[in-house]
Structure 1
């Protein structure tokens, strides 16, 4: 796994080294649009170093350019994007790979995860959301939106049935570390102020973490508390 800690600190605005991205799509208009979005809206945090029209071309360029992240379309000539993802992840200096798609057909999410993709980016997402997903991947956070999470669980159910406990744990693990911490504290019945005190942050920030978790899981606070209960989490030393 590429270690971004020595290359760029995306949370520190004083650091000027941008995340380098390669966009892969057989539609030149999509490549152009994504390049404009990333270069114009990221305020220097992200820069597109190349675009490719096929998976094979993307792999060859990655050998030379060593991008931090590759946005990979699925259906393309010369092998699909998931096959290209596996080849990219097999390089000596592998990039993070996010699948660039507008759909999540059956089996796609599971195949993408098995190939080494770290999440999905929708072609219809808002620019800031796309940028946040790229940054999140570089920080080691899986970038699966609610739709892809649900598809992944459905695919896993079909081939490797999961227990309700495992389902709950998988959903909780899809959250960022701070979102997950806030959710677990909320499930204990703590108020927002108490959660903020335990997390050594402001009440506003604690509420933002809970709101983000609710949006990602498509669940209310009560439903999330029930999810935590189903997860039956062991102590931190055991889990």
Structure 2
């Protein structure tokens, strides 16, 4: 009879500035996982978490957010840049506005609530180790809300930054062209020649790698006041 192989436990690091939370999570994972999970280290700030992760190479890290000496979002980003990065689940009791989006951008793959049942916490650790993101319905709703709030603003700001990279005269010509003025009308408004107007628009197109229609769309995204107002 061949010996029954025992699955290698998932190694976990726990990071929280409250030692009691770390101890409670350690007890939960060690006592309820039936050997499926083992805690390899505990840390109480971001700097210590990164240092211990380099030493112990955990499969998963449970990461608190608000901590001294390096917050959890920054620490998550640093952990995900390690040569053999661990999966990171944010350890929290709340999902403040903007936290879910920032955590996802830093490389976190989900959330674990400090008030979840032990089996739920363990299941989330197992699933994220398998490569399955662990965003509960509340965090999914918050992520969608954050993206809905911030993405339009980001697109607007990106468009404004591109327009600001043009010279003052190029930018003015582009804005007027986006309002539907012909080259002749733009030249009259800018007190210059039509040839110079064409040169400004051509230069703007080359700098931004956009044709006249795309430049008009860019101005629309920038949501700037009309120069004709």
TM-score for the superposition, normalised by structure 2: 0.64
Q: What's the offset of the Cα at 1:14?
A: 4.7
Q: Which structure 1 segments of 5+ residues have no match?
A: 1-12, 162-239
Matches within 5 A, 1:87-236: 87-160=78-151
Q: 2:85 & 2:60 partners in 1: Cα distance?
A: 9
Aligned with 2:71 (options 55, 60, 80): 80
Q: Deviations over 1:90-136 (max 9, x none)?
A: 00010000000000000000000000000000000000000000001
| 1:48 paired to 2:71 | no
Poorly superposed stretches of 4+, deviation over 6 Å: none
In our comparison, the structure showing a higher alpha carbon Rg is: 2
| 1:57 paired to 2:29 | no
Q: What's the offset of the Cα at 1:15?
A: 3.2
SS in 2 for 1:158: helix
Query: In angstroms, what is the RMSD of aligned CA positions?
Result: 1.1
Q: Deviations over 1:132-165 (max 9, x none)?
A: 000010111110001100100000000125xxxx
SS in 1 for 2:123: helix
Q: 1:83 & 1:151 partners in 2: Cα distance?
A: 20
SS in 1 for 2:70: coil
The residue that corresponds to 1:194 in the other structure is: none
Q: 1:40 & 1:52 partners in 2: Cα distance?
A: 20
